[in-house]
Amino acid sequence: MNFGRPFRLTSVEAMAATLSILGEEEQARTILAPFGWGLRFLEVNAEPLEDYAQAKDSAEVVAIQALYM
């Protein structure tokens, strides 16, 4: 896990984040479940993932990213 390292995710974290942003929360949980820290990833990142899910275009994604950097 790359806790606290912006722009650095493991492959499973990246996949889970994508699934979460696309509204596939259950699938995100399923792929993270085998990892001891897996579900914590979704808890720690719940707010930014929800914000990204609400973005309407890439400009909004960049603006959201700036809020968390």
Taking the C-alpha atoms of residue 4 and residue 60, their distance in angstroms, rounded to an integer, is: 22
Mean pLDDT of 36-53: 95
Q: φ, ψ for residue 50 (rounded to 5)?
A: -65, -40
Taking the C-alpha atoms of residue 54 and residue 21, their distance in angstroms, rounded to an integer, is: 8
**Is residue 1 domain-resident?**
no
Residue appearing with tokens 């650095």: 8
Task: Identify the domain containing residue 46 by its residue range.
Answer: 11-68
Question: Among residues 64, 67, 10, 69, which one has the least CA distance to residue 41?
Answer: 10
- Residue 59 clears pLDDT 90, i.e. is over it: yes
| Confidence band of 18 (pLDDT split at 50, 70, 90) | very high
**Is residue 2 domain-resident?**
no
**Is residue 46 domain-resident?**
yes
Half-sphere exposure at residue 54, Cβ-oriented, CA atoms within 13 angstroms: 9
| Confidence band of 50 (pLDDT split at 50, 70, 90) | very high
* Model pTM score: 0.86
**Is residue 4 domain-resident?**
no
- Residue 1 clears pLDDT 60, i.e. is over it: no
Mean pLDDT of 26-34: 97
